[in-house]
Amino acid sequence: MLRLLLYIKPIQSDQLMDPLASSSRKISGNSRRKPVNDTTESLGKLPPQAVDIEEVVLGALMLEQHALSSVIDILKVESFYKEAHQNIYEAIVQLFNNSDPVDIKTVVHQLRKNGKLELVGGSYYIADLTTRVNSAANIEYHARIISEQSIKRQLIRISSELVTDAYEDTTDVFQLLDRTEQALFQVSESHIRKNYDKMSSLLTKAISQIEERKNKKDGLTGVPSGFTALDRITSGWQPSDLVIIAARPGMGKTAFVVSAMRNAAIDHGQGVAIFSLEMSSVQLVNRLISAEAELESEKLKRGEMADYEWEQLLHKTSKLSEAPIFIDDTPGLSILELRAKARRLAQQHDIKLLIIDYLQLMSGGDANKNSGGNREQEIASISRALKGIAKELNIPVIALSQLSRAVETRGGDKKPQLSDLRESGSIEQDADMVMFLYRPEYYGITQGEDGAPLNGTAEVIIAKHRNGKLDTVQLKFIGKFTKFADLDVLTNESYGSSFPSSGNTDSGYTITMPSKGAQDTSAAGDDPMPF
């Protein structure tokens, strides 16, 4: 008996105080042999999974109210690897279908109703999921990782069944091929977004849009340009359209779009964003001030103004400070940066019109990669990307473009053509509308064929219009203010009050904006310096 007692290990006092101490030491002791366990586990195969990302996604769904809308078409209940996560996601989807809020308490309540709260680990586990993530910023990317792992598991299951059945002597090989094909098709179909709609739903949507247009007295279905004759043809800049405005340097491309931008933002309250790759944001604002206050740009440049002109400037530009106009003058902007910024502006400020000045100054991506590439192909990829942005955000995108020197070498009136688009590639193909700006006095043409004076006039030539007719619109160009206006003031009155003229001008013309440069040339009077 005494001999047996000698072999009994004395109990430490700390063990009496803490019964868990011994177990913790066992755990710590086992941790020293962890590499051996890892080696053992590495000899086997685990199904493709992303349990940690599943926890992050579920936590984000309970933190962000609208997060589920972006992943519900990506994730299914069976996409999750852990059964507990499947039950939690099922409860979240049930709440979403019932239009109930999704948070910790509602999910716990729904799981309790389903009788699965204890199976998933209780309310403590649900609360712990929300501590794994701070926001739902990358939830769509995380959801796609979970979906990819789910697809891999399904493919493994299908291939395993295929191997087993193929070894069976009694298997009909043609039936096996048919079953395998069906299984693969089901996997593919269940994980591909369905972007198509039935004709019935599309017809209903189209008729409702027509009814909305019927109720509009002004005939505008898009973002107004503020030019009466042009808006009569286009009904405004249409959503998802890519509009290319092209001209030779000095014709007034920037003046035209700044005018249209001003009219849309101030007269109609539409949010407009312009990406100016050529001019700085301050220079662009000076254009706006010169046109709005009707003060010569040279006076603004020198700051030599009389007291009444200062009062005129302050009074007539007060609207500009409140206008929903957003200017970005990042040089060498890439299409990736543009897409990201455009999405942010559309979400945060609800912009209705996007302007790029101008297309040839953009880069397709990494400058190092594109430096030795084909420029025509790069421009073609940029134009396709711009059309994609217009469709994605459902807003009109206006991109300015330069014309080649072929216009200058041509005889006659030197009016531009579609073939004159520089590095055209697919520009004219991708664009829904192509417009040319043409000022006859730029080439010394001061009289028309009918003998009418052409000084101070400009033409907007619609050379391509996918959803309307081709036509030419006459506008007034005011060189000293570098802005455009309706040629005939009476046109505004005959067309209606829907295209208001600027009540802030003394000239009575519809307020519209400047072209690149405010310097006068010797040959053309008010003709600005080419930009």
Q: Does residue 38 belong to any structural domain of this protein?
A: no
DSSP sequence for 34-88: HHHHHHHHHTS-PPS--HHHHHHHHHHHHH-TTHHHHHTTT--GGG-SSHHHHHH
What does the block give as tokens for 467?
């959803």
CA distances in angstroms from 137 to 56, 57, 131, listed in the order given: 11, 10, 15
Q: Are 202 and 210 in contact (CB under 8 A)?
A: no
- Domain check: are 89 and 168 in the same one? yes
Decide if 7 is inside a domain: no
Domain harbouring 84, CATH code: 1.10.860.10
Strands (DSSP E) found in 261-324: 271-276
Identify whether 194 is part of a domain.
no
pLDDT band at 196 (very low <50, low <70, confident <90, very high): low
Judge contact between 142 and 134, C-beta under 8 A.
Answer: no
Please report whether residue 142 resides in a domain. Answer: yes
User: pLDDT band at 30, cuts 50/70/90?
Assistant: very low
**pLDDT tens-digit readout, 426-440:** 777 788 888 888 888
Same domain, yes or no: 402 and 258: yes
> d(Cα 435, Cα 230) in Å, to the nearest integer?
11
**Helices and strands per DSSP (H, E), number in the chain:** 23, 9
Report the candidate in 344, 327, 245, 321 with the shortest Cα–Cα distance to residue 278.
327
pLDDT score, position 507 = 36
> Is residue 470 included in any domain, yes or no?
yes
296-299: long-range contacts at Cβ-Cβ below 8 A with a sequence spacing of 24 or more? 296/480, 296/481, 296/518, 297/480, 297/481, 297/482, 297/514, 297/518, 298/518, 298/519
87 and 158 part of one domain: yes
Are residue 248 and residue 372 in the same domain, yes or no?
yes
Answer yes or no: is pLDDT of 44 > 60.
Answer: yes
The answer to whether the beta carbons of residues 458 and 476 sit under 8 Å apart is yes
At 39, the pLDDT band (50, 70, 90 cuts) reads: very low
The verdict on 179 and 225 lying in the same domain is no
User: Are the beta carbons of 440 and 454 closer than 8 angstroms?
Assistant: yes
Start-end of H helices in 350-479: 367-370, 375-393, 406-409, 427-430
Annotated active-site residue in 278, 309, 337, 459? 278
* 355 within a domain of the structure (yes/no): yes
Q: How far is CA 186 from CA 144, 179, 192, in A?
A: 18, 11, 10
171 and 128, same structural domain? yes
376 and 491 within one domain: yes
Q: Residue 315: is its pLDDT beyond 50?
A: yes
Domain that holds residue 432: 219-495
In this structure, are 153 and 257 located in the same domain?
Answer: no
Q: In this predicted structure, what is the pLDDT of residue 89?
A: 92
Q: Is residue 64 one of the residues assigned to a domain?
A: yes
Asked if pLDDT for residue 508 goes beyond 50, the answer is: no
Same domain, 133 and 236: no
My answer on whether 418 and 280 are in the same domain is: yes
Beta bridge partners of 435: 245, 462
- The packing angle between helices 104-114 and 83-97, to 10°, is 110
Burial class (CB in 10 A: 0-12, 13-18, 19+), 365: middle
CATH number at residue 422: 3.40.50.300
CA separation for the pair 46, 30 (Å, rounded): 23
Closest-CA residue to 495 (of 519, 468, 477, 473): 473
Q: Which residues of 425-435 are buried (b: 16+ CB within 10 A; e: fewer)?
A: bbbbebbbbbb
Residue 107 lies in a domain: yes
Q: What's the whole-number mean pLDDT along residues 78-89?
A: 91
How far is it, in rounded angstroms, from Cα 219 to Cα 251?
30
d(CA 272, CA 350): 9
* Local confidence band at 478 (pLDDT 50, 70, 90 cut-offs): confident
Average pLDDT over residues 31-56: 66
Mean pLDDT of 458-468: 85
Mean local confidence (pLDDT), 331-354? 82
pLDDT higher than threshold 50 for residue 146: yes
Q: Give the count of domains, the chain.
A: 2
Residues 160 and 226 in one domain: no
Let me know if 278 is a catalytic residue: yes
Are 462 and 380 in the same domain? yes
- Confidence at residue 136, expressed as pLDDT on a 0 to 100 scale: 77
3: CB partners within 8 A, 6+ apart:
none
Mean pLDDT, residues 89-94 taken together = 90
Contact 433, 243 (CB under 8 A): yes
Q: Which amino acid is at 285?
A: V
Task: Give the pLDDT confidence score for residue 193 in this predicted structure.
Answer: 54
Give the C-alpha separation, 404 to 447, whole Å: 25
For the chain, percent of residues with pLDDT exceeding 90: 5
Name the least confident of 193-202, 399-408, 492-501: 492-501
Q: What is the SS3 assignment for 269?
A: coil
User: Which of 100-109, 173-182, 234-243, 386-395 is predicted with the least confidence, judged by mean pLDDT?
Assistant: 173-182
Q: What is the mean pLDDT of residues 64-73?
A: 79
Q: Is the pLDDT of residue 204 over 50?
A: yes
